[in-house]
Structure 1
């Protein structure tokens, strides 16, 4: 495997305060890897590489990973959420709370009314359909915080479109758009890896936040997937209320940074550890109910 340039971030929320460049071999575990119950073996480290970044390593396998004496730092802890599509739509809906089902039904009805009485969700999977989907979804993606703040919007350009069309030709793309009055306001684009469909690219027009278009679109996509060929819907790395709500289960995971034990890398690991620790302490402190009430009073 080859090393790629990675900027290690000192990050608070969506704001990056500083970065440190390193050349790292990325070892990204798929959902199948996560569920397999086996500890991965790291590939040989190229001479020019500073180390590895391992993502979605199950937390219970950290101690069994052979780190080859490299410096080790946990960059992130999270639950990797996934939905078992084999259980069927009725059983999946039963995993949602009564209030969640009621709220989603109300939001779906509201969006349907805005489109003349019928919810306007359109699905795309063939190369020709993806060619129609891509520019429409790109228009939505350009408005989203995922693209403006995180740089993780739907990939743009002819090369990106050709890549999606090639995946579609191999039956490895499922995509959806939600329209209101003929205008797309939310998109979801997923790619397949074996029997797993990945939650790769998602977003909605922030001007329509009050309508909860992302949640409504997710439900409609899930309904269709229970009649498709996939066993799992993988919400990928990172957490969020949306993922917790629609998943049926999850696996506690960590992202690991492994660096050669040089003086510069020791300083890097120490700095990242101190920063992450301070950020975590600040988050816990500010979330304390008494302090939260005080801050609300100050803002008023």
Structure 2
């Protein structure tokens, strides 16, 4: 059990948060694909946060009198690494393949190098270079999702590398580190854990080029799937071969404070969803464009 901040967010910006003592039940991709209702451990805290729960199973979760709300809905994307690199590449749209080739050629002209790392010794060489890139990224500045600095977390990654449970890549442009990718094993899958690129090189899309190179390596590796984890995005949709509709389900004890919190979260999330839909309306989009000018 841990203290979890239930956030009221507008995009990546947190405008408020309510803290509750929750048991976080994070399903692995293997568990998602197995399609079994998760067993919830006993707790004397406020409840549970179940992440990556297949949407089809949400109604079957034992709630024990707790009140529930869905915090977010998304597709848990993944790539089937058993199909082979050629089939995966052919599965991309013609436009995506053309764009990837063009971006790769642009970086090659600037001096492209890609290095792969997997052992503990190799991770030790990778880490300071990737950490320097991570410090520049929006993932670290806005989402608190950079490559970790905490010594215990770094030691954990090193131990995973020693046990053949880590794969990492670094892209350099003209000898300068520009993008990194650090992934860890979970069951039969490799997870899309830590990723980022230096925004100074953003116009060259080094992150996309690096990930495409990493995928080429992974089709010859031991993993059955590449797991894009929770959340969505164009990059994930483009590189994935399949996905499972999932929800993050929050279950809280039916106290007045918890009911009030859930009502506030549901109202806020609903308002944000309405705002996103409204923003896609042509007239609203045109007005926003004029205002930005």
Query: Separation in 1 of the partners of 2:242 and 2:223?
Result: 16
Task: Give the drift of 1:157.
Answer: 4.0
* Residue matched to 1:162: 155
Alignment of 1:1-300 (within 5 A): 3-45=1-43, 47=44, 49-115=45-111, 119-300=112-293
Query: Separation in 2 of the partners of 1:282 and 1:40?
Result: 33
Q: Find runs of 4+ consecutive structure 1 residues off by over 2 angstroms.
A: 157-161, 297-300
Query: Separation in 2 of the partners of 1:213 and 1:69?
Result: 49
Offset from partner CA, 1:61-94 (integer Å, 9 cap, x none): 1111111111101000000100000000011001
Q: Secondary structure at the match of 1:62?
A: helix
Give the aligned CA root-mean-square deviation in angstroms.
0.9
Task: Give the drift of 1:158.
Answer: 3.2
Offset from partner CA, 1:134-168 (integer Å, 9 cap, x none): 01000000000000011110001433332111101
Matched residue count: 293
Offset from partner CA, 1:110-136 (integer Å, 9 cap, x none): 111111xxx311000000000000010
Task: Give the drift of 1:298.
Answer: 2.7
Q: TM-score normalized by structure 1?
A: 0.96
Query: Separation in 2 of the partners of 1:66 and 1:280?
Result: 28
Q: Secondary structure at the match of 1:160?
A: helix
Q: TM-score normalized by structure 2?
A: 0.98
Query: Separation in 2 of the partners of 1:42 and 1:157?
Result: 29
Deviates more, 1:135-144 or 1:62-71: 62-71
The answer to whether the Cα contact below 8 Å between 1:131 and 1:161 also exists between their aligned partners in 2 is: no
Q: Which runs of 5+ in 1 are unaligned?
A: none
